[in-house]
Amino acid sequence: MAKEKARLLRGLQKVRTGIEGLDEITSGGLPKGRPTLVCGGAGSGKTLLGMEFLVRGATRFNEPGVFMSFEESAEELTKNVASLGFDLNRLTASKRLLVDYVHIERSEIEETGEYDLEGLFIRLGNAIDSIGAKRVVLDTIESLFAGLPNTSILRAELRRLFRWLKKKGMTAIITGERGDNALTRHGLEEYVSDCVILLDHRVANQVSTRRLRIVKYRGSTHGTNEFPFLIDERGLAVMPITSLGLKHTVTSQRISTGIPRLDTMLGGKGYFRGSSILVSGTAGTGKTSVAAHFVEAACRRGERSAFFAFEESPSQIIRNMHSIGINLQQWVEKGLLQFHAERPTVYGLEAHLASMEKIFDLFKPRVVIVDPVTNLSSVASETDVKAMLIRLLDQMKSNQTTALFTTLTAASGPLELTEVNVSSIADTWLLLRDIELGGERNRGLYILKSRGMAHSNQIREFLLTDKGVDLIDVYVGPSGVLTGSARISQESHEKDVELTHQQEIERRKLNVETKRKALEAHIASLRAQFQAEEQELQKLTEQEKMRQNGVSKLRKKIARMRKEDENSERRNR
């Protein structure tokens, strides 16, 4: 009893499918020992999903499986899935997989009275027991509805079959054709209700996209969104956007943009490693050149770079960048730079994402350029492109790969609005814009944002020279921002004014000097005059003294002569 309770409390046990991404969105896989319904239209990948579930089970989780096919024969199946790298013959020979083809033909069958499907049970039971299977796929059991006319018997038997599978503890996938108003044409969801996965294959703008959605998963949380998925040579891959989460660690290491002046604008050091950089601008503003500089700088540091071009061919980019003095060819030859140029319309968004991920896995680039991401919106809606970019960025950030995206903004629209609304996911956003002034067009660059660093708020004029991109100060004066020849003429005008000023000062200086000299001369003459007068005065004073001396002597002489007494003499004094 206690044991039973503990088992219940542990919750639903799950079985990993081994299908990329599916285990993440179902948080662990399919419900163990229960049937799961996989429904979808023709060609939506039901059979492949089932087959991969068995193949992965047999090869990775040591769980043999039985594939009961009601549509394709074992030979056909073997051939069909060989393209995905599944070797059914080898798995069958090693008793890890058993394919049983149930052939049912309406024209060969006559119904007379009561019957049941015990034969199917015996067959399946025998197959399960012979290899000790843990997994079962029934593809597509609804074919029975076409073969057996008595649906009431069939329904009762199907109900019994799924109960029986549960009792045997089989983790099963039952596929069903999508119905008009219901999930399946014959209402299989009525019997298989623990987990229902819906596959969808839809075409929008002539590009097809496969999608997967977990409609229901009893007793478990699951991703409820529609997730794009892909079938390629590695099998099926579901791409959950949210799977990576916002947990990546960051580094404070900075890497050069390849444009010295831009480094200066970004706090003197450039971008953060592992950050995402968005370069937006109207046509012909030099977005690719900014990207090329960045790639070149990365290659110079010896880091590998991947350049995804959706507009130009590699040789065209190399040629064009050569004209501004960037030699990308050498890095391609050294194996540091890989170009991947494809028209966005060549396949769906998911396939693009998958091919990019494959390159990440194989080439492991430190710097990734996508030029331009806006072109991808020709194959998918904006939300899809954004979702894809978020996923791409998350993945790159978790590897600390620096990503640079360019986006094209329509000239008529507001510049701050990027076409795919990716600005919120960018860490650094450079805006390149045309500045139309005085009958000419010049390029301007400014940093709209750069998370986590002090950055310049100035507009710089963006020049494409034969030595690469050059950023120079624009003229900011009372008449506004001037660029190009207007800036140059303004600058020369300023120089003229300054020269005139200088000359004026020179002239005044001279003037003052002359005046000073005149003044000094005047002072000197005055001083000479003064000195002469002073000498005169001194002479006079001396004469006076001598005269007074003479007078006093004379008086004394007279007093002595008059024999004056002392008192009178004193009184006189």
H-run or E-run covering 175: strand 171-177
In whole angstroms, the minimum distance from the beta carbon of 134 to other proteins comes to: 19
Footprint (CB under 8 A) of other proteins, residues 270-299: none
The one among 93, 104, 410, 417 contacting other proteins by CB under 8 A: 104
Spatial CA neighbour of 229 closest among 376, 38, 44 = 44
Q: How far is CA 408 from CA 214, 264, 341, 374, 453, in A?
A: 36, 25, 17, 6, 25
Residue 115, classed as helix, strand or coil, is: coil
Stretch that binds other proteins, among 12-20, 117-125, 282-290, 422-430 (CB under 8 A): 117-125
In whole angstroms, the minimum distance from the beta carbon of 91 to other proteins comes to: 18
Stretch that binds other proteins, among 83-91, 121-129, 426-434, 496-504 (CB under 8 A): 121-129
The one among 76, 111, 416, 504 contacting other proteins by CB under 8 A: 111
CA–CA separation, 51 and 82 (whole Å):
11
CA–CA separation, 78 and 88 (whole Å):
6
CA–CA separation, 169 and 34 (whole Å):
7
Q: Which two tokens stand for residue 305?
A: 């770079």
Residue 116 interacting with other proteins (CB under 8 A): yes
Say which DSSP state 20 is in.
B
Residue 100 interacting with other proteins (CB under 8 A): yes
Q: How far is CA 461 from CA 145, 165, 415, 442, 471, in A?
A: 72, 72, 17, 7, 6
Stretch that binds other proteins, among 101-109, 233-241, 327-335, 428-436 (CB under 8 A): 101-109
Residue 103 interacting with other proteins (CB under 8 A): yes
Question: In the stretch 146-175, what mask flags binding to other proteins with x, by CB under 8 A?
Answer: -xx---------------------------
Residue 120 interacting with other proteins (CB under 8 A): yes
Q: Which two tokens stand for residue 190?
A: 């009525």
Comparing CB distances to other proteins, the nearer of 103 and 522 is 103
In whole angstroms, the minimum distance from the beta carbon of 108 to other proteins comes to: 5
In whole angstroms, the minimum distance from the beta carbon of 181 to other proteins comes to: 29
Comparing CB distances to other proteins, the nearer of 151 and 538 is 151
Residue 417 CB-half CA count within 13 A? 7
Footprint (CB under 8 A) of other proteins, residues 56-85: none
- Taking the CB of residue 457, how many other CB atoms lie within 10 A of it? 9
Comparing CB distances to other proteins, the nearer of 168 and 340 is 168
Chain center to CA of 315? 25
Comparing CB distances to other proteins, the nearer of 113 and 478 is 113
Comparing CB distances to other proteins, the nearer of 123 and 269 is 123
The amino acid present at 319, given as its one-letter code, is R
The one among 122, 346, 410, 497 contacting other proteins by CB under 8 A: 122
In whole angstroms, the minimum distance from the beta carbon of 140 to other proteins comes to: 14
Comparing CB distances to other proteins, the nearer of 102 and 236 is 102
Q: Which two tokens stand for residue 130?
A: 């012979």
Residue 118 interacting with other proteins (CB under 8 A): yes
CA–CA separation, 435 and 475 (whole Å):
12
Long-range CB contacts for residues 538-545, cutoff 8 Å, separation at least 24: none
The one among 112, 152, 221, 465 contacting other proteins by CB under 8 A: 112
Sheet with strand 207-217: strands edge to edge: 97-101, 65-69, 135-139, 171-177, 35-40, 195-204, 207-217, 226-232, 235-238
Size of the site for other proteins (CB under 8 A): 25
In whole angstroms, the minimum distance from the beta carbon of 160 to other proteins comes to: 13
Residue 115 interacting with other proteins (CB under 8 A): yes
Residue 136 interacting with other proteins (CB under 8 A): no
Task: List the alpha helices (DSSP H) in 304-367.
Answer: 314-322, 329-334, 349-363
Binding site for other proteins (CB under 8 A): 100, 102-104, 108-120, 122-123, 125-127, 144, 147-148
